């Protein structure tokens, strides 16, 4: 994907869409001997569409454009397009779709030997399991292998979990990529080597999603360090533990600000935690400021 998502107001600027197309042309110039599918926003009839560009032999040969635009947030910026596109890769007939088109756009029909769905599906509790169930049923009922590739990363208030995968024509999983981490895999789509569906607790997934969101927020905005007020209570303790795991101890600094209401026990707990995690900390009593 060239631009990532959500682009929001950027899609109203022709200069941004032109920059995306320039990047797509650059990517295409390196695609020798392979077919590549690249997500990209495009200008079409004075509006922006969400597209999957199909590249072969250094040329963009066609676009699949998102047809199902139902999200109120998207409708402000994205216009519907034609939906599924077909191509041949060697002797394999491939249908390419975007996002929710796979649930509504049936034009892949009987033509495709293989369906590729690219998606930017945000994480929410229980979503990974529901996504796996959908594609498993899709591959089984259509009798076609399906490759689904999902966006990854934290972007402002949204986290995309990755969790891409491949099912064969019998609806059996033959590959899963990591959740909440970048991953790369070469997959034989006609494989009969079945893999187990990853099972991880929903609470653990929530934890990994928050951690990814923290890390990407800091890295993408250029903030080098987090400063956290540590009280000795459970709330700030959890925040500190997650910040250290997401960013590393060297990128976290802690302030302890005891007042006349703070017990020695709470201050001691906070100091013990800061030292245990190896983070820099300062104790700045605020009783004088309170009295003033």
Residue-wise pLDDT for 218-266, tens only, equals 999 999 999 999 998 899 999 999 999 999 999 999 999 988 877 878 8
Strands 165-167 and 252-256: unpaired
pTM (two decimals): 0.87
Scanning the chain, the segments in alpha helix (DSSP H) are: 14-28, 72-75, 101-104, 127-142, 202-221, 234-247, 264-277, 287-291
Euclidean distance between CA atoms 92 and 76, whole angstroms: 37
Q: Tell me the pLDDT band of 166, cut-offs 50, 70 and 90.
A: very high
Cα 56 from chain centroid?
Answer: 26
Q: Tell me the pLDDT band of 7, cut-offs 50, 70 and 90.
A: confident
CA dihedral 40, 45, 47, 48 (to 10 degrees): -10
Q: Cα angle vertex 241, ends 239, 246, to 5°?
A: 95
Average of per-residue pLDDT across 183-212: 92
Q: Which of 65, 23, 61 is nearest to 44 (CA)?
A: 65
pLDDT of residue 42: 93
What's the start-to-end Cα distance of the chain, in Å? 56
Instruction: Please report, rounded to a whole number, the percentage of residues in the chain having pLDDT higher than 90.
Output: 70
The residue that leads in pLDDT, 200 or 89, is: 89
Q: Tell me the pLDDT band of 6, cut-offs 50, 70 and 90.
A: confident
Please say if the pLDDT value at position 110 is more than 90.
Answer: no
Q: Tell me the pLDDT band of 109, cut-offs 50, 70 and 90.
A: low
Instruction: Please report, rounded to a whole number, the percentage of residues in the chain having pLDDT higher than 70.
Output: 98
Cβ contact 79:97 at 8 Å: no
Tell me the pLDDT of the chain averaged across its residues: 92
Euclidean distance between CA atoms 21 and 42, whole angstroms: 7
Average of per-residue pLDDT across 22-44: 95
Please say if the pLDDT value at position 108 is more than 80.
Answer: no
Alpha-carbon distances, residue 260 vs 129, 264, 266, 267, 269 (angstroms): 49, 10, 12, 11, 16
């Amino acid at each position: 994907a060239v631009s990532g998502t959500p682009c929001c107001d950027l899609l109203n600027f022709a200069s941004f869409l032109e920059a995306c197309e320039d990047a797509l042309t650059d990517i295409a110039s390196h695609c020798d001997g392979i077919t590549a599918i690249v997500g990209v926003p495009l200008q079409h009839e004075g509006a922006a569409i969400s597209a999957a560009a199909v590249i072969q032999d250094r040329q963009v040969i066609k676009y699949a454009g998102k047809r199902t635009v139902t999200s109120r947030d998207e409708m402000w910026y994205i216009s519907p397009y034609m939906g599924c596109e077909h191509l041949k890769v060697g002797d394999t007939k491939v249908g390419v779709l975007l996002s929710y088109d796979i649930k509504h756009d049936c034009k892949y029909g009987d033509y495709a030997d293989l369906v590729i769905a690219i998606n930017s599906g945000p994480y929410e509790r229980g979503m990974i399991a529901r996504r796996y169930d959908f594609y498993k049923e899709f591959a089984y009922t259509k009798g076609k292998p399906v490759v689904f590739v999902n966006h990854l990363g934290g972007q402002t208030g949204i986290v995309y979990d990755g969790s891409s995968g491949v099912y064969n024509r019998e609806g059996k999983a033959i590959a899963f990529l990591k959740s909440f981490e970048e991953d790369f895999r070469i997959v034989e789509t006609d494989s009969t080597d079945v893999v187990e569906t990853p099972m991880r607790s929903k609470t653990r997934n929530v934890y990994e999603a928050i951690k990814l969101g923290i890390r990407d927020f800091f890295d993408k905005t250029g903030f080098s360090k987090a400063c956290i007020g540590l009280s000795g209570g459970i709330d700030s303790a959890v925040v500190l533990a997650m910040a250290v795991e997401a960013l590393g101890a060297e990128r976290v600094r802690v302030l302890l600000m005891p007042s006349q209401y703070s017990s020695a026990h709470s201050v001691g707990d906070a100091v013990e935690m800061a030292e245990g995690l190896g983070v820099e900390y300062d104790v700045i009593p605020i009783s004088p400021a309170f009295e003033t």
